[in-house]
Amino acid sequence: MPAERLLPTDDSQDLIDLTREICRQDLAPQVDDMERAGTFPEKTFRLLGQAGLLSLPYPEEFGGGAQPYEVYLQVVEEIASVWMSVAVGASVHALTCYPVATFGTDEQRQRLLPAMLGGDQLGAYCLSEPMSGSDVGSMTTRATRSDDGGTYALKGTKAWISNAGHADFYTTFARTSDDGGRGLSCFIVPAQTEGISFGAVERTMGLRCDPIRQVTFEDARVDAGQRVGEEGQGMAIALSALDSGRLGIAAAATGLAQAALDQAAAYAKERRQFGRAIGEFQGLAFLLADMEAAVTSSRASYLYAARMRDAGRPFSKQAAVAKLVATDAAMKVTTDAVQVLGGAGYTQDFPLERYMREAKVTQIFEGTNQIQRLVISRQLLG
């Protein structure tokens, strides 16, 4: 059952209708096989890009859809309710465009954004490193400026990078001085840059169509014009981008939970035991009611944060709340959905076990849920 949505305009309703049509006709028929094989859905990203669904929250003049986050995120949620890996890839792509769109110069926006938002390109976000996860300020990847100042040479290894090996550009954070968190800078590194190599695809628990790899820069040389923001501004850019990125993850987690709930509710109406549908037993009916409450509150949380963002208000705390609430809810709802289907839910004949595996990572990436609590509590007590 499609989620009930209050949308601000007729345009946004048309956008949701388009998303549902593409999801139903193109994504749904292939998701099971593709996830089983772990194939990167390149054609699907191209299709979504051509339809304009990968550039929604960015300005029209650079090829974006000029949509508020309130609408963009509901598109992400709709995609996630059919194919979580693709929704995460789409959210990551939006994240990779954020630094140029928000911190880039006019010249950089005009030069870089039309291609990034044109629908034919995908980005990857290179922040984490093998030894630097939540502690972003400890990263060791270094960008050394040439004597004439015209280029930077990047050296170091990034870890857990979505879209790695398939992306057209890498939004990369690297150290330009030894000044801890104040020594980081942001670069847009084109995929064809010499000196980039990729590790093996990580053998992950879920999101098999979202290949995660290490990205190694070995004296990868980029023009100084590819640096976004000032030297030393990297940490602020990364955290600002993640505030918005987290909303994408919250929306995706909500869609995943909605899909699990829909299938569990449908099964509870069909499956009969002791002479009646199992949904007629209060033990299961209340479990489903709690799942509905969790999904609805997840959606409300991310939409509230989105509306704060759209209104130009600070939303960092609300984004952390939304990410925490929605991803914890997704873990619980998908786990309970497996329970509703019983033995069937535990088999690969139904997608519920996959949903449960996919939910787990949402509590980990784009800031672990422990980091979200840190963000929230610091704002409360700071």
Partner 1 sequence: MNIVVCVKYVPDAQADRTFSVDNTTDRAGVDGLLSELDEYAVEEALKIAEANDGEVTILTIGPDRAADALKKALQMGAHRAVHVNDAAIHGSDAIATSLVLAKAIQKLDPQPDLVLTGMASTDGTMGVVPTMLAERLGLPAVTYASELTVADGKVSVRRDGDLASQTIEATLPALVSVTDQINEPRYPSFKGIMAAKKKPVDTWTLADLGVDAELVGLTAAWTTVESFSARPPRQKGQIVTDEGDGGSKLAVFLGEHKFL
Which residue ranges make up the site for partner 1 (CB under 8 A)?
A: 11, 14-15, 18, 21-22, 26, 47, 50-53, 56, 65
- Least distance between partner 1 and beta carbon 52 (Å): 3
C-beta of 312: minimal distance to partner 1 in Å?
Answer: 23
Nearer to partner 1, 21 or 135 (CB): 21
Positive or negative, the CA dihedral 75, 76, 78, 82 is: positive
Report in angstroms how near the CB of residue 22 gets to partner 1 at its nearest. 6
Element (H, E) at 143: strand 142-145
Give the shortest CB-64-to-partner 1 separation in angstroms. 10
| Residue where the block lists tokens 């849920």 | 369
End-to-end CA distance of the chain: 43
- Closest distance to partner 1 from the beta carbon of 280 (Å): 25
Q: Which is nearer to partner 1, 26 or 310 (CB)?
A: 26
Q: What secondary structure does DSSP assign to 68-108, as a single string?
A: -HHHHHHHHHHHHTT-HHHHHHHHHHHHHHHHHHHHS-HHH
User: b or e along 245-269 (b: 16 or more beta carbons within 10 Å of the residue's beta carbon)?
Assistant: bbbbbbbbbbbbbbbbbbbbbebbe
Of these residues, 35, 70, 353, 366, which one is catalytic? 366
The CA angle 213-226-85, to the nearest 5 degrees, is 30
The tally of CA atoms less than 13 A away on the side-chain side of residue 312 is 0
Query: Which is closer to partner 1, CB of 25 or CB of 282?
Result: 25
Q: In terms of Cα–Cα distance, which of 146, 166, 144 is closest to 217?
A: 144
| Closer residue to partner 1 (CB): 56 or 242 | 56
353 belongs to the catalytic site: no
* Residue 271 beta carbon to partner 1: minimum distance, rounded to whole angstroms: 19
Each residue of 325-338: b (16+ CB within 10 Å) or e?
bbbbbbbbbbbbbb
Nearer to partner 1, 117 or 264 (CB): 117
Q: Which is nearer to partner 1, 121 or 226 (CB)?
A: 121
CA neighbours closer than 13 Å in the CB half-sphere of residue 319 = 26
The SS3 call for residue 160 is strand
Indicate which residues carry an active-site annotation.
366
